């Protein structure tokens, strides 16, 4: 009601209908209780509750209230559950056991252990684990919750926040991979550069110390050592620079018509690694539209890889043929082959197969084969050779890649 001063007053009006027995007049007899303060408090509470709910629902995380245990009921979950996991709040709450159903099987045991610890001690819960979204994708969550304590002093449920930390975990994994790559690179460089540098230093020292007293044959051997070892170091550094350019995305193929078989023969003639090695090149013309220097590096690395990982005198066979709108290069050997499970690993930078122990090489060559093939829009893979050995294959499509 409106008061005399214009203010609004709230009442609770309770009345009963009565009748005058003498006159038969009917009227209301009641009590009006001023409840303005109570109504004002209710309005303030509703506004506060609305503001709190709005704040909770705008947080960049999932706010929840859930009972302990695999089958514990979820009492509340904020709308952010749909953005993070793809489920509506109603779908999540109505599910009989979402925690058990959607937590990654490898993480479920540690989630249970953390809940049991919180239940036993009443201490906060904090854990990182994976959950499956409604679309089937796995994401990483950081789950932080406080125990809600009942009147008996025992924790009865959890009130917590779930943050999507997938990007952070992927970044951590990349950093770990980069750190591992750095360590491998340092090991590779220290091993693969130390040996040739030692040979170069020894040859140069002998030439400097003995000078004209050296026999001409010995002089030629020392000079050849200098040349060959320097070429090997230069090849390693070139591989590293190519790998860096590919990672930076600044290397593009410059395509020109070429004959793949002719490129193979050219590489064989100019390679010292293949000297004395029986190599069969299937004589067939194989036209291709490729970046010639990069494809020559593919051929050189495949042939060098076959020579390094097979006993001396083991034949190497090279075939080139057309496959629809692409050229297919095949390099086969009769060596031990690539063990099962390592078919993809051998194409990763600085990774080598289990049979590579004691053989020279930096673990970069096959990685460049795969990366140069991808640069052409193609791919590289390895198959077991019929009769034993390995069959490395590179598919090079003709069309330009946009």
The answer to whether residue 402 sits within a structural domain is no
How far is Cα 193 from Cα 362, in angstroms, rounded to an integer? Answer: 10
Give the residue, 371 or 183, on which the prediction is more confident: 371
The winner for highest mean pLDDT among 68-82, 96-110, 189-203 is: 96-110
Pairing relationship of beta strands 62-67 and 74-77 according to DSSP bridges? antiparallel
Q: Tell me the C-alpha to C-alpha distance, in Å, between residue 50 and each of 42, 47, 73, 74, 272.
A: 12, 5, 24, 21, 79
Please tell me whether residues 289 and 372 are part of one structural domain.
yes
Q: In percent, how much of the chain has pLDDT > 70?
A: 85
Cα separation, 212 vs 204, in Å, equals 13
Asked whether residue 50 falls in the same domain as residue 63, the answer is: no
Q: Look at residues 108, 131, 164 and tell me which one is the last residue of a structural domain.
A: 164
Nearest to 299 by CA among 396, 188, 189: 396
- Following CA atoms 252, 289, 393, 342 in sequence, which dihedral angle do they give, to the nearest 10 degrees? 10
Q: Who wins on pLDDT, 184 or 210?
A: 210
* Residue 242 predicted with pLDDT over 80: no
Is the pLDDT at 350 greater than 60? The verdict is yes
Domain CATH code at residue 270: 3.30.565.10
Residue 247 binned pLDDT confidence (cut-offs 50, 70, 90): low
The DSSP 8-state label assigned to residue 401 in this structure reads P
pLDDT, residue 203, reads: 86
Whether 363 and 290 share a structural domain: yes
Nearest-angstrom CA–CA distance, 321 and 287: 9
For 267, how many CA atoms within 13 A lie in the half-sphere containing its CB?
Answer: 23
Instruction: Tally the domains of the chain.
Output: 4
The answer to whether position 2 is within a domain reads no
Together in a domain, 44 and 63: no
- Does pLDDT of 250 surpass 80? no
Please give the DSSP secondary-structure letter assigned to residue 346: G
Q: Do 262 and 380 fall within a single domain?
A: yes
Residue 50 lies in a domain: yes
- The predicted pLDDT at position 127 comes to 95
Asked if the model's pLDDT at residue 252 lies above 80, the reply is no
Give the C-alpha separation, 128 to 141, whole Å.
6
CATH of the domain at 102: 3.30.450.20
In this structure, are 260 and 392 located in the same domain? Answer: yes
- Check whether residue 92 and residue 147 sit in a common domain: yes
244 and 147 in one domain?
no
User: Token digits for 328?
Assistant: 């297919």
User: What sign does the dihedral 101-105-107-109 (CA atoms) show?
Assistant: positive
C-alpha 395/C-alpha 52 separation (Å) is 61
The arithmetic mean of pLDDT across residues 224-243, rounded, is 76
Spatial distance between the Cα atoms of 24 and 44, rounded to a whole number of angstroms: 46
Q: What is the pLDDT of residue 167?
A: 93
What's the pLDDT score for residue 208? 85
Q: What is the pLDDT of residue 279?
A: 87
Q: For residues 251-265, give the mean pLDDT.
A: 87
- Residue owning tokens 């590289």: 380
Question: Using one digit for the tens of pLDDT, what is the confidence trace for 166-177?
Answer: 999 999 988 887
Q: Using CA atoms, how far apart are residues 344 and 172, in angstroms rounded to an integer?
A: 23
Per the domain annotation, does 5 fall within a domain?
no
pLDDT given at position 340: 87
Please, what is the end-to-end C-alpha distance for the chain in angstroms? 76
Confidence of residue 53 (pLDDT cuts 50, 70, 90): low
**317-347, pLDDT tens digit by residue?**
999 999 888 999 999 998 888 888 888 888 8
- Determine, yes or no, domain membership for 6: no
Range(s) of the domain holding residue 184:
170-248
Torsion of CA 170, 174, 177, 179, to 10 degrees: -130
**Final residue of a domain: which of 248, 283, 307?**
248
* Residues 292 and 312 both lie in one domain: yes
pLDDT classification of 312: cutoffs 50, 70, 90:
confident
Residues 183 and 223 in one domain: yes
Query: Are 308 and 239 within one domain?
Result: no
In a domain, 47, yes or no: yes
pLDDT band of 402, cuts 50, 70, 90: very low
Distance CA 168, CA 311 (A): 47
- pLDDT, the chain, mean: 84
Other Cβ atoms less than 10 A from the Cβ of 222: the count is 19
Grouping H, G, I as helix, E, B as strand and the rest as coil, residue 348 is coil
370 domain residue, yes or no: yes
Assess whether 119 and 237 both reside in one domain: no
The pLDDT confidence band at residue 126, using thresholds 50, 70 and 90, is very high
CATH number, domain of 244, equals 1.10.287.130
Position 401 pLDDT exceeds 50: no
Asked, for residue 385, whether it belongs to a domain, the answer is yes
| Closest to 76 measured CA to CA, from 95, 89, 61 | 89
Residue ending a domain, choose from 113, 135, 164: 164
Confidence at 36, pLDDT banded by 50, 70, 90: confident
């Amino acid at each position: 009601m409106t008061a005399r001063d214009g203010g609004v007053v709230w009442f609770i009006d309770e009345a009963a209908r009565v009748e005058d027995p003498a006159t038969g007049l009917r009227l209301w007899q009641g009590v009006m209780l001023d409840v303005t303060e109570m109504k004002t408090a209710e309005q303030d509470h509703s506004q506060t509750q609305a503001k709190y709910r709005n704040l909770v629902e705008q947080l960049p995380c999932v706010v929840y209230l859930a009972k302990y245990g695999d089958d514990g009921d979820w009492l509340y979950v904020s709308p952010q559950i749909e953005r993070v996991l793809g489920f509506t709040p109603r779908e999540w709450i109505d599910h009989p056991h979402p925690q058990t159903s959607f937590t990654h099987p490898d993480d479920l045991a540690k989630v249970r252990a953390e809940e049991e610890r919180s239940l036993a001690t009443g201490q906060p819960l904090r854990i990182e684990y994976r959950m499956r979204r409604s679309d089937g994708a796995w994401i990483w969550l950081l789950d932080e919750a406080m125990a809600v304590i009942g009147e008996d002093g025992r924790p009865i449920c959890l009130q917590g926040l779930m943050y999507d930390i997938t990007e952070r975990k992927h970044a951590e994994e990349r950093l770990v991979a980069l750190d591992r790559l750095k360590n491998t690179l340092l090991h590779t460089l220290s091993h693969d550069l130390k040996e040739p540098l030692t040979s170069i230093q020894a040859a140069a020292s002998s030439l400097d110390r003995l000078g004209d007293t050296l026999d001409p044959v010995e002089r030629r051997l020392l000079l050849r050592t200098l040349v060959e070892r320097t070429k090997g170091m230069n090849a390693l550094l070139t591989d590293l620079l190519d790998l860096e350019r590919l990672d930076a995305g600044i290397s593009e193929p410059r395509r020109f018509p070429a004959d793949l078989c002719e490129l193979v023969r050219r590489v064989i003639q100019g390679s010292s690694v293949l000297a004395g090695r029986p190599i069969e090149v299937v004589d067939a013309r194989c036209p291709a539209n490729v970046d010639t220097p990069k494809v020559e590096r593919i051929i050189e690395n495949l042939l060098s890889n076959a020579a390094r990982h097979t006993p001396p005198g083991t034949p190497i066979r090279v075939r080139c043929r057309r496959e629809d709108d692409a050229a297919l290069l095949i390099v086969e050997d009769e060596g031990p082959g690539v063990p099962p499970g390592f078919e993809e690993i051998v194409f990763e930078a600085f990774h080598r197969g289990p049979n590579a122990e004691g053989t020279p090489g930096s673990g970069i060559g096959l990685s460049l084969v795969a990366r140069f093939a991808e640069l052409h829009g193609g791919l590289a893979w390895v198959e077991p050779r019929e009769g034993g050995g390995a069959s490395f294959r590179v598919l090079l499509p003709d069309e330009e890649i946009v």
